[in-house]
Each structure stands twice: as C-alpha cells, then as structure tokens.
Amino acid sequence: MVWMAKNNHKEILICIVGSFLLWVYFNLYKENIKIIERTKVFRAGHGNIAKVQERPNVENKTDIPNIYIVTATYSRLAQKADLTRLSYTLRLVPNIHWIVVEDADNKTELVRNFLFNSKLQFIHLNKRTPNVKNRWEIRGISQRNEAVRWIRQFAQTPGVVYFADDDNTYDIRIFEEMRYTKNVSVWPVGLVAGLRYEAPKVSNKKVVGWHTSFPRKFSTDMAGFAVNLQLLKNITSVEFRASAPPGHHETDFIQQLGVELSDLEPLAANCTKVLVWHTRTQKPNVNNESKVHQDKNYTSDPIEV
C-alpha cells in the first residue's frame, strides 16, 4: 500500500510538471507568433519598405473604415519631438495607416528608428523637394504626391485620406468623424490664417461659405479636410500642384476632385467645434551649443535629439 501511494504521488507530480511545461510552451509559442507578426515587412514600389507592427493600445476593427494619414516631414531640431507627439495621438485611433514621407534624397536613420519604435502601422517613404527659387513655398507638395501615388497603387481596404502635418495638434474625435467621409469632408482649424480659427460656414447642414481672412473657393487649411479613398483612386489625375499660388494648394487640390461647395460634408458639430489646431512648434534656441563645444572632452553631437 505504501509503495502504491508513493507511485501515485509520483504520477500526480509528473502530471503537474507536464501540465506546467505545456502551459509554458503554449505561451512561448503565442509570443513567438506575435514577434513574427511584428517583424513582417513588405516592399511597396521604388524599394520603399514598410514595417507592420502591433498596436497594443488599440484593437483594429473590421467594421469601420480605415484612415490613411499622410505626414510630410523634414529634418530639423524639433522633428523627432513633433513626430513623437503626433504618434501618441495616433496610437489612440484604431484602423490607421500612417504614411510618413521625408523631404530627403534618402530615408534617415532617425525617422526609420522612430517609426519602428512607434507601435503604429506605417509606410516610410521619401521624396526630395525640387531645389527651386520658391522651395519653401512648395515644401510638402512632392511628399504628399508621393504618398498619394503609394495610396493609389497599394491601398486596398476602404477608407479616407487625411493630410496631417507633424507639428499640428489633434483631438482624436476628428479622426472618428472623418473616417465616414463619403466624398470630401471639412471642419474648422484653429490658430490659422491670422485668426483664432478658420472654418466653413454652415446652413441647413450645407457649407455655404467660409469664415476666413484669406478667401479662396475652398478656404481650408491642409488639416481641415479629408477625402474618400475611392474618390481619390477614381480621379487619377488629382495631385498637389506646385503651380498653384501660395496658400491655394488645398483649394486647388479639392477643385480637381470635381466637388462643389454644397457637396462638402461638414463635421465637428456642423463646424462649430475646433478639433484641430495649426499650432506649429517654435524654433528651438540652441545658441549655447558653442559653449559646450569649448570643452574638447565633451560634445553633444553623437546624441540623437
């Protein structure tokens, strides 16, 4: 009897240990699958590589449209800080594809590393702004057109396209509203055109004009409209044109889509709320850099800002 009891204890112990090992193996297997998914890469034209990563804070949903968010960016001291702030906002929004286009001949390590660590689904592209006399006035045009080219070629799931500058401030509610855009939706933008806000005027749920200090047919900032993906795919000639006068690139783009004022879809409580601000980051003051460089044993250059 004693011998049988001892053997029963051994069998129970073996079962417990075996169950524990199976549990460990199963969880390690699941984690391995996650790692594989996180490190998937795919090539998307011109050798551009995008890395698809998990988004642990937001579950992607199959029952809502996607948002293709286009961000043109260029090298500057505040670049990483601006991208970081925007990325934390986007991590709160489900079903987004962040298309980041650098104004550069080649993709930089700073932006590449930042995106790989952002925990967002992203596409990393680059396109240099032509070196012309009015280069500053047309900055962002080549980059947005490169993103539109990629979207037309590779975007498959239904959704909308939004051009989000990296130095703006966004209330996440605007993303939830814009994703249901049928053609072109519009809303107010704060701190732009020398005003507290620039906004569509709405009557009976129709846009009838604009509250602006700089009249155009569609007096909207880049951050103030979204376009249905299929509309952008159907009209393949639409692009941002460097020939448009300064400040008219948005209205010129929307006019090419063939919509009229009454066709616009007013969001943000019939354009009575500001959910986007054209804040712009103040240029950093680094005048004291020369002082630290006087010490030959120390330099701040190797540190990524």
Which of the residues are catalytic? 250
Report how far residue 62's alpha carbon sits from residue 95's, in angstroms, rounded to the nearest whole number. Answer: 8
Q: Are strands 276-277 and 265-266 parallel, antiparallel or unpaired?
A: unpaired
- List, in sequence order, the alpha helices (H) in 39-108: 79-90
Q: How far apart are CA 148 and CA 229, in angstroms?
A: 10
DSSP single-letter state for residue 182 = S
Cα torsion 223, 225, 231, 237 to 10°: value is -60
Q: Copy the structure tokens of residue 221.
A: 């900032």
Looking at residue 62, its amino acid is: T
Strand pairing report for 96-102 and 66-73 = parallel
Contacts of 58 (CB under 8 A, 6+ apart): 91, 92, 93, 94
CA angle centred on 176, ends 68 and 267, rounded to 5°: 100
Q: Count CB-CB contacts under 10 A for residue 228.
A: 22
